[in-house]
Amino acid sequence: MTNTKPLPSLSLAIAPIAVMFGLLAIGYGMLGLRIEPLLLVSAAFTGFIAYRMGYNWDDIMGAIVEKLAKAMPVILILVSVGGLIASWMVSGTIPYMVYWGLKVISPEYILIAAFFVTSVVSVCTGTSWGSAGTVGVALMGVAAGLDVSLAAAAGAVVSGAYFGDKISPLSDSTNFAPVVSGTTLYEHIQHMLYTTLPGFVIASVVFFFAGQHGDVTGVAEPQKVVEILAGIESLYNLNILLVIPPAMILWGALTKKPVIPLMLTASAIALGLGMVLQGFSLQQGFQAYVDGFNISMFSANGHAIDAIIPDVSKLLNRGGLFSMMSTILLVFCAFAFAGILSLTGALNVVLGHFLHMIRSTGQLILSTVIATITVVFTTSDGKLALLIPGELFQNAYRKMGLDTKNLSRTIEDAGTIIEPLVPWTAAGVYMAGTLGVSTLDYLPWAIQCYTGVIFAIIYGFTGFGIAKAPVDKASANKEQQTENHSAVAEAK
């Protein structure tokens, strides 16, 4: 929806953002209140401001609906992921991967293995969500079986997923960032290595050494691992055919097939495998797909589950369309606030104010980081976190003689990669829902996701890793500035 009213003043533009941050910091952070009502209160406050600016109820509802319409692909993917996980439990695909993970990976190496494996898969497929939702889920099962901290394991999975995503030419956000910043894809990827590779090294060291100490790796009794393996063996017919669904997902990602039809097809194949190999009925498969898989389903097929240890139940009782409903509610509440905020034009006012305070490269990079993170927190939209700062800051980078690939790198470091660390963003709720660990629990371990911001700011103030504009661009910028000064002088 187009903003047809005068933009708010700076103080009025900051007010809804400050209220939202305050409510989340006190209500969620200190009092432990649910995020959803806090976001709705923020939306109501922002709606009051929009009303005072002259917008009516139809305008406000139209802005919310428009924002939710753009979120529908994400919502449909979330629902599909819930069904996908359940269907892979029915077929035995996830238990099969967990089974071999427990056999091959030692507890002290699970964190570094989770980081490396998801990194490789994400680089090859260009999808952080796909990596976390496939191999990430299996690795979380292995971590649970080995008594490894699930928060640390989830942080390793998220770190690997976003490392690969950011340097893969197949990633949608990696293609989008250079477009909105005025640079090229491969220049952007090469420049991303300055902030991404140091983070990768730091994360690798932390995950390797953390796995050697008892603060992350529990004392997994070999007997427990044996019991988990025995439980999986007794319940499932473990067959190499069970790798077909994840292989199909990886193939579809590499060949850029539509995500939702791909997930639905992989789920259908998994349900078929569950019927053929595991003996489940079509009715049981559909019930699990909707309500989630439960180990009690084996009882109906004549399996004795009384002797199965609780850890196996925790591993298997997952997924289903309904498992994503709380996540979707959070997305609706977040986008209600974001839609009204977008209607008022408050973000444009706040970000535009940054441009008047920039005096150095370091300040420019820092302002870009702050602006991008602000967009992530207030809109819950990773694409907007690339688009809005990308458009607003382009001229500022050019005027300072900087190549715009510095801009594309910075908005990726502060936007796309930060998004999974924010509990109410689509990426945050997806990772938490898929991996079974809350966003704030895995946040300290998602090292790859926040080191990029740190290095971006350091480079901005030291000048290291900052690319100057090519001579022809710099000359053109200088000539343009000269022409502008001349025009102003003539006007006077």
Considering only residues 212 and 49, tell me which one the structure prediction assigns the higher pLDDT. 49
Long-range contacts of 57-63 (CB under 8 A, 24+ apart): 59/1, 59/343, 60/340, 60/343, 62/1, 63/1, 63/339, 63/340, 63/342, 63/343
Residue 485: predicted pLDDT: 42
Rounded to an integer, what distance in angstroms lies between the CA atom of residue 412 and that of residue 199?
14
Nearest-CA neighbor of 412 among 434, 386, 435, 438?
386
Is the pLDDT at 332 greater than 80? The verdict is yes
Q: Read off the pLDDT of each residue in 234-260 and give the average, rounded to a whole number.
A: 84
Q: What is the pLDDT of residue 126?
A: 63
Predicted TM-score (pTM) of the model is 0.64
Region 458-475: mean pLDDT is 78
Question: What is the rounded distance in angstroms from the CA atom of residue 366 to the CA atom of residue 361?
Answer: 9
Question: Is the model more confident about 328 or about 248?
Answer: 248
